[in-house]
Amino acid sequence: MSWILCTRMYDVTPAVRTHWHALLSSAARYAGVEVECIDHAAPAPLTELWTRHDLALAFVCGLPLATSYPRLRPLAATVTVLAKGESPTCCSVWLVRAEAAFDTLASTFGHRIGWTVGHSHSGFNAPRHALLAHRSAERPRLFSESVGPLGHPRAALAALGDRRIDVTAIDAYWWWLLQRHDAEAASRLRSIGHTENAPMPPLVCAADFPEAQAASLVTALAAVHENSDMRTRLDALGVRRFAPVTRADYAPLGEIDRDARAAGYSLPA
């Protein structure tokens, strides 16, 4: 069986995709795994990618891993330059237009919020959890309009730029990559805060992928940062190293989702 590699979740620009493919292909070669790099570019649904039986390496959001897709096997997650300490963590960043008057999350209340997709922790679950603390019986809705699903981070940022929404939250690491590799696009937006830290989206393989080869991939990924030939790629991606992860690491994201639904707060609104 042939196997595929896909970094769609963090293919922020074509140059970033090139770095990912080179970095992870190198790890696959070290592990003795032959892979074909594919794009699966937006707007193709990520949910279609995650159900493929030929996955050797692909990023998946932590929320669907915690609540669905039992046949996906977590391998490792990136410890990025944004991580707190040595654990693979991330958060979401609240974004507004650069010229907007908003300076805090609370200052956006009463305006329009946009969200990516309901299976995204960074673009849906994390911001909804942050907003839950501001919600009350007297104020069950914080915004005049909740706009979504917008589909993916680029689409959410386009909605901001087109003034269809006034605030949105996306993966802070995705935002870091955009600032690093598409500074012109990033300059039109501004951060007004972050959500709480959460486990970093992992690289996974399909259940059909041989277990011995999966173990070899984890070993290879854990050693990538020691490969001097990959230093330029690692620096461009802001990756310090890869750390092994398990499905249990992502269970708290499912709990956050269940808590919001139990409180009657199904959407960031």
- 232 has pLDDT over 90: yes
Q: Residue holding tokens 């922020």?
A: 12
Closest by alpha carbon to 225, among 237, 238, 244, 242? 242
Tens-digit pLDDT profile for residues 182-195? 999 999 999 999 99
| Domain covering 89-197: architecture | 3-Layer(aba) Sandwich (3.40)
Instruction: For residues 86-109, give the mean pLDDT.
Output: 97
Phi, psi of 199 (to 5 degrees): -65, 140
Q: In this prediction, what percent of the chain has a pLDDT beyond 90?
A: 98
- CA-based radius of gyration for the chain: 18
Residue 87 structure tokens:
């654990």
- 238 has pLDDT over 90: yes
Strands 239-244 and 72-80: antiparallel
- 84 has pLDDT over 90: no
- 102 has pLDDT over 90: yes
**Which ranges constitute the DSSP H helices of the chain?**
14-30, 46-50, 62-67, 126-132, 153-161, 172-181, 183-186, 211-223, 231-237, 251-262
Q: What is residue 13's DSSP assignment? A: S
- 112 has pLDDT over 90: yes
Instruction: For residues 17-38, give the mean pLDDT.
Output: 97
Q: Residue holding tokens 């410890």?
A: 79
Domain 3-79+201-255 shares a fold with domain 89-197? yes
Q: Residue holding tokens 């609370």?
A: 106
* Ranges of each domain in the chain: 3-79+201-255, 89-197
For 150, the 3-state DSSP assignment is coil
String of b and e for 52-85 (b: at least 16 CB within 10 Å)?
eeebbbbbbbbbbbbbebeebbbbbbbbbebbee
**pTM across the whole model:** 0.97
Instruction: For residues 34-63, give the mean pLDDT.
Output: 96
Q: What is residue 201's DSSP assignment? A: P
99, 161 in Cβ contact below 8 A? no
Number of C-beta neighbours around residue 254 at 10 A: 18
Instruction: For residues 97-110, give the mean pLDDT.
Output: 98
For 44, the 3-state DSSP assignment is coil
Q: What average pLDDT does the chain have?
A: 97
Identify the band that residue 1 occupies on the pLDDT scale cut at 50, 70 and 90: confident
Identify the band that residue 58 occupies on the pLDDT scale cut at 50, 70 and 90: very high
- 247 has pLDDT over 90: yes
For 239, the 3-state DSSP assignment is strand
Q: What is residue 200's DSSP assignment? A: P
- 39 has pLDDT over 90: yes
* CATH number belonging to the domain at 3-79+201-255, selected among 3.30.2010.10, 3.40.190.150, 3.60.10.10, 1.20.140.10: 3.40.190.150
